[in-house]
Amino acid sequence: MNADLMEKHFARMGARMKLVRHEPVLQPWGWNRRSFVDRFSVDIERDRRGEHFVFNVSTDVEDLLEVDLLQVQPKERHLLLMVKDPDVEGKLVKDRFLCGHDEREWFVAAVPGAVSTVASAMESLKPEVVREMQAREGLNQKQRNRRRNSAFRRQGEWFFVPVLDAFVNEDAVLQHEPIARSGGKPHFVQYLYREGGQTIYVSPQRPEGVSVVEHERLIQSRPKAKGWAWRMQRINPRVLARGEVRHPDHKTITLHGWHEVLMNRENQSRTMQRVAFID
């Protein structure tokens, strides 16, 4: 990994980059089953000079990593990196990162798919519904990259697609409701409505959640589990939003009429586990 070259790439789009080395994290099950996050991850930190990108690298793999700049767009302040990391069999595993500036803050996003340009990375991050809508509207590439167009509104990692003739149970509409991906700073929606989805039970002992059937079986086999401070939640519901959407790092947007809420596809990428910074 050539730190000096990487710093030059980031400087071209007006950003700082630091390489931070750390000793290997030893696990009881051995090196071959180490979490690959211990080997290499990407973060954004702040110092007296402001925000900067940080590449955390384990000293035992630093010389093995290959970092390629696929594209940089200095004017748009975006770049796309590909990091090749050998697995235990020596095969290079490719991770792609879109780094750039969005409204007020720098960001890094794990990109799913074998993309090679900033534009294709941005398209890969969009949910299928968003891509279908912008194709239906006949948007060109410039229009598709705007945070507001006839197909959607975007705030950070969230897309809002207009829904015509949406049926909403007004009694079930929530006000000033947060939406957030795991570990992220929430975006607050003035009016939010959820429907459908799967009911799960979540507790400190089962943070990933269990289904209703699994919860019943667990209580039967381990009666003490009944006192695990369970909370009912729904996963994968359809979510509709209306009104103002606020976030400290983004300009407030106003949704006129109901919009379907969709998160970008970053969580579908294996590379997501390498990203330490969460918006």
DSSP states along 213-264: HHHHHHHHH-GGGGGS--EEEEES-EEEEEEEEEETTEEEEEEEEEEEEEE-
Judge if 197 and 107 occupy the same domain: no
Instruction: Catalogue the E-assigned strands of the chain.
Output: 17-22, 40-47, 50-58, 66-73, 78-86, 92-102, 105-110, 153-155, 158-162, 174-179, 187-195, 198-203, 206-211, 231-235, 238-247, 250-263
Backbone angles phi, psi at 190, to 5 degrees: -60, -45
Angle at 126 between CA 55 and CA 50, to 5 degrees: 35
In the chain, pLDDT over 70 holds for what percent of residues? Answer: 90
Judge if 188 and 81 occupy the same domain: no
> pLDDT tens digit string along 25-80?
665 544 444 455 578 888 899 999 999 999 999 888 888 889 999 999 999 999 99
Judge if 120 and 59 occupy the same domain: yes
Q: What pLDDT does residue 33 have? A: 44
Residues 136-165 have a mean pLDDT of: 95
> pLDDT tens digit string along 125-144?
999 999 999 999 999 999 99
> pLDDT tens digit string along 234-254?
888 899 999 999 999 899 999
Q: Which position has the higher pLDDT, 65 or 120?
A: 120
Last residue of a domain, one of 77, 102, 125: 125
Asked, for residue 117, whether it belongs to a domain, the answer is yes
Asked, for residue 144, whether it belongs to a domain, the answer is no
Q: What pLDDT does residue 276 have? A: 47
Judge if 121 and 169 occupy the same domain: no
Least confident of 117-121, 166-170, 258-262: 166-170
Judge if 113 and 187 occupy the same domain: no
Q: If pLDDT is split at 50, 70 and 90, which confidence band does 279 have? A: very low
Judge if 107 and 185 occupy the same domain: no
Q: What pLDDT does residue 277 have? A: 39
Residue 9 pLDDT more than 60? yes
> pLDDT tens digit string along 203-239?
988 888 899 999 999 999 999 999 999 988 888 889 9
Asked, for residue 240, whether it belongs to a domain, the answer is yes
Domain residues for the domain of 208 are 160-267
Q: If pLDDT is split at 50, 70 and 90, which confidence band does 270 have? A: low
* Domains in the chain, number: 2
User: Max Cα separation, the chain?
Assistant: 61
Q: What pLDDT does residue 26 have? A: 62
* Strand 66-73 versus strand 50-58 pairing type: unpaired
Tell me how far apart the alpha carbons of residues 111 and 76 are, in angstroms, rounded to a whole number: 18
Tell me how far apart the alpha carbons of residues 140 and 59 are, in angstroms, rounded to a whole number: 45
Instruction: Please give the mean pLDDT across all residues of the chain.
Output: 88
In order of 52, 150, 162, 179, 230, the CA distances from 166 in angstroms are 42, 18, 9, 20, 33
Q: What pLDDT does residue 34 have? A: 45
What is 14-39 written as a DSSP string?
A: T--EEEEEE-----TT-GGG--HHHH
pTM of the shown model: 0.81
| CB crowding 187-222: b at 16 or more within 10 Å, else e | bbbbbbbbeeeeebbbbeebeebbeeeebeebbeee
